[in-house]
Amino acid sequence: MTDILQSKNIPIIDFSLFETNQPLCAQQIKLACENLGFFYLKNHGFNEKDIEEVFHNTKLYFDQPHEEKQKFKINEHYYGYIDIRQELLDLETQKIGDHKESFNFSKFNDNDDPLAQVLPPLFHERKSLFSSVSKKCHGLCLKILQALAIALEIPQSEGDKYWFESKHSYDLKSGDCLRIIHYPPTVIDNDQKDIRAGSHSDYGSLTVLFQKDIGGLEIQPHNSTEWVSVPVIPNHVVINVGDCLQFWTKGLLKSIKHRVVFRKDTRDLDRYSIAYFFHAGSDVILDSIPSQLIPQDNNTKYITAGEHLQNKLNVTYQKIY
């Protein structure tokens, strides 16, 4: 437990505890979210072969000609292909956009929804794989929220450990997004002139991140100016708190800034990652959580999760729309 209390050490939590000792698992997750907002999770339940296959198809996709990728470019709902330099995460210090390209998947609807996202052929053929990983990420986040609800001591009369659940149902319209990311090598000599992903905090409730082989992710702990590396640990996922959950818990849980930098030893290598951004339903009002551990502020102006997300997206993609 001592590692969790030291902000410079990113805690590793064994999620098998969720099945065998939920109160202990809940306290470990709460401490990690209070003190740092980032933690590793092992025994998370993902099939490693499935994740490897997603990474394999990610590389195949980004290896395609640019004009092929542009056929499915990002739409007004922020799903689709995002080109290199198109996303600018750190408006204060970046002069050019991030040195990365990505593809955003919407939620996967099992029905023949006419408004469903049209996928590139490569992804359409493997839709069941991406759908499965997306829904497993969503399920994992629901369990983490159950653990937090236990640690927040939400009364049984208010829903107990399931308080967050209905507000994050997969069936709700929300900003949930499975994202695959490619960070190409750089040819710029001065590391300070370019960055793979600018300093930012995530927008939603939680993020699930799969890193592969090449590092570069750094976090800036709360009330610190120091950047701390988040190394790649095989068979572990990285979990972090988003702005929505920080706002919702009146700052008890921390959504901190992070970035992806060019490291001298890997700057000439391609980097790939998979992220799942987990959001409350767009119409969910971010009002008081029934917990004695969270200060109740009657002067707070409540907004919906959808309004919060749209405000963030408008800034990040201001050069597109």
Residue 298 above 80 pLDDT?
no
**Residue 21 to residue 191: CA distance in whole angstroms:** 45
**Given pLDDT bands bounded at 50, 70 and 90, which one contains residue 9?**
confident
238, 219 in Cβ contact below 8 A? no
Residue 283 above 90 pLDDT?
yes
**Residue for token digits 């990983």?**
133
Burial readout 40-56 (b: 16 or more C-beta within 10 A, e: otherwise): bbeebebeeeebeebbe
253, 155 in Cβ contact below 8 A? no
Question: Closest by alpha carbon to 254, among 270, 264, 238, 241?
Answer: 241
User: Does the CA dihedral 197-200-203-206 come out positive or negative?
Assistant: positive
| Structural domains present in the chain | 2-316 (2.60.120.330)
The string of pLDDT tens digits covering residues 49-105 is 999 999 999 999 999 999 999 999 998 888 999 999 888 888 788 888 888 999 999
pLDDT for the residue 5: 36
52, 46 in Cβ contact below 8 A? no
pLDDT for the residue 113: 64
**Residue 274 to residue 263: CA distance in whole angstroms:** 19
| CA torsion angle 298 302 305 306 (round to 10) | 170
Q: What is the mean pLDDT of residues 212-231?
A: 92
How many CB atoms lie under 10 A from the CB of residue 274?
21
In angstroms, the Cα distances linking 176 to 124, 173, 220, 231, 244 are 19, 8, 25, 25, 13
- Percentage of the chain modeled with pLDDT above 70: 90
| CA torsion angle 16 257 318 183 (round to 10) | -70
Strands (E), the chain: 12-14, 38-42, 80-82, 101-105, 177-183, 197-200, 206-212, 217-220, 228-229, 237-241, 257-260, 271-278
Residue 198 above 70 pLDDT?
yes
Question: Closest by alpha carbon to 312, among 260, 244, 258?
Answer: 244
171, 281 in Cβ contact below 8 A? no
**Given pLDDT bands bounded at 50, 70 and 90, which one contains residue 206?**
very high
The string of pLDDT tens digits covering residues 223-280 is 888 999 999 999 999 999 999 999 999 999 999 999 998 888 888 899 999 999 999 9
The string of pLDDT tens digits covering residues 232-247 is 999 999 999 999 999 9
Mean pLDDT of the chain: 89
Question: Closest by alpha carbon to 271, among 145, 108, 98?
Answer: 98
Q: What is the mean pLDDT of residues 27-40?
A: 96
Residue 1 above 50 pLDDT?
no
Question: Closest by alpha carbon to 170, among 203, 129, 132, 211?
Answer: 132
> Which two three-digit tokens encode residue 87?
């996303």
Q: What is the DSSP letter of 62?
A: H
Q: What is the DSSP letter of 119?
A: P
244, 284 in Cβ contact below 8 A? no
Q: Please give the order of strands across the beta sheet that includes 257-260.
A: 197-200, 257-260, 217-220, 228-229
pTM (predicted TM-score):
0.92
pLDDT for the residue 114: 53
